[in-house]
Amino acid sequence: MNPYRQYMYSYPHKTAYRTLTGVRLEMYASCLSGAGHGLYLHLPFCRTKCGYCNLFSVTGQDHTQIDRYLEAAERQSGQYEQILAPYGSRFSEVVIGGGTPLLLEEEQLERMFRMLERHFSYTDERELVIETSPGETSRTKLEILKQAGVTRVSMGIQSFSDEELHTLKRKHSAQKARKALALMKEYAFPCVNVDFIYGIPGQTADSVLNSLKEAVAFEPEEIFLYPLYIKHGAGLQKEMKKGMVLQPGEALLQYREASAYLRAEGFRQDSMRRFVRSTQGRKYTECSLGTSLALGCGGRSYLGNLHYCSPYTITREGCLAQLDRFIHMEDFAQITHGIVLSEEELKRRYVIRHLLIRPGLCLSGYRELFGTCVEEDFPILKDWKIKGYVCTDDTFLTLTETGLELSDDLGPRLISREISEKMEEWEHRNGQI
């Protein structure tokens, strides 16, 4: 059995989105009334493309091209500001992701933060989150983040083994990552989060543990542990064709040892991927659980039953074409690509997004929201109880430890037939099957 079928970080997947007509942001803006929403800014620029990456990001964009992107994002922010004005929208979390946001030069970073402050309103306890990478983490850029009030910095380290980084086609060295992490710790951000990957060809449980031991010594507030996926146009697919193989059985053993180690070190495990130092009493809003508005090109907005973004693309040409379209866009309120979820799909999304994250799915919360019983709606959950994948204390339905390690196999089983068909159709069209 392969427990690594699909990472269900959101539902439905972007490959199930299609062309929309007659939809405008104004029609859904009331979803952003009052306080408590997420704002996401996508900066799709990277110095090099990692071998496993199939995110919306491009390499080789110069200063002027990034400036033009920021100009477009500013125009978009201005239009959104006007649309949201009657609703008193206040955002409680801003996430700046990519891409590699810190690839921006200092003045561009400052301009970006000014833009976010100028056009949007926030709650007092706003979280400001930014992703970085070891190669782009300098003292001057960290100063800018500190000045801007960043509360959480996330760095993709992936491994402290140069050999494994080479296999992943990550261009930074382990030593560079150590230095960047040490520098980041100097600035005492409220939360530093580091990402690691297991299941890398040639990797062993011991080498995963060695990387994690080094990471723990830096005392990050959070560690994310990702199984390696090579999908949808990732560069490493070429290596797979030449004989590189992923070994899910080995990856599972690595996961078990790594997760046991982190728990023993005092990290609380919140999902298959997320480990939080238990001294952290921090509230955490997982990406895409609530209402969220995206800026830039490639990020997703979640407004009630409407999810939308630019069309999903896995090629450099496709990304460049989307970027060009974004830079020349005049009317950012027109929504042309996405999905409007039915009640049934909203239920599926709710189950997927809550069950895979601790403390789990609140039974009364589901009933209050949908007026039905989750186990009647999804009889498969009763089956999972019998198999020992989920348990309940009558308040929450929670994944057991066995269920947790099978998250990427259980989650996809909750995808509806209609969404599966759309995803398969996209894959056929894009030559992935």
CB of 317 to ligand SF4, least distance (A): 16
DSSP conformation letters of 153-203: EEEEEE-S-HHHHHHHT--S-HHHHHHHHHHHHHTT-SEEEEEEEE--TT-
Whether the CA torsion 206, 210, 216, 221 is positive or negative: it is: negative
DSSP conformation letters of 49-94: --TT--SS-EE---HHHHHHHHHHHHHHHHHHHHHHGGGT-EEEEE
Among the listed ranges 93-101, 279-287, 354-362, 402-410, the one in contact with ligand SF4 (CB under 6 A) is 93-101
Antiparallel, parallel or unpaired: β 121-132 and 267-269: unpaired
CB of 152 to ligand SF4, least distance (A): 17
Using the minimum distance from each CB to ligand SF4, give the nearer residue, 318 or 365: 318
Q: Is 46 in the site for ligand SF4 (CB under 6 A)?
A: yes
Among the listed ranges 95-103, 258-266, 294-302, 344-352, the one in contact with ligand SF4 (CB under 6 A) is 95-103
Half-sphere CA count of 137, side-chain side, radius 13 A: 24
**Contact flags string 151-180 toward ligand SF4, x per CB under 6 A:** -----x------------------------
| Site residue total, ligand SF4 (CB under 6 A) | 11
| CA gap 372, 48 in Å, rounded | 49
Interface of this chain with ligand SF4, residues 238 to 277, rule: CB under 6 A: none
CB of 267 to ligand SF4, least distance (A): 23
Q: Is 98 in the site for ligand SF4 (CB under 6 A)?
A: yes
- One residue of 15, 133, 203, 207 binding ligand SF4 per CB under 6 A: 133
- One residue of 15, 100, 207, 313 binding ligand SF4 per CB under 6 A: 100
CB of 225 to ligand SF4, least distance (A): 16
| CA gap 147, 349 in Å, rounded | 37
Alpha-carbon distances of 51 from 82, 159, 310, 321, 376, rounded to whole Å: 41, 14, 23, 22, 43
Binding site for ligand SF4 (CB under 6 A): 46, 49-50, 53, 55, 57, 98-100, 133, 156
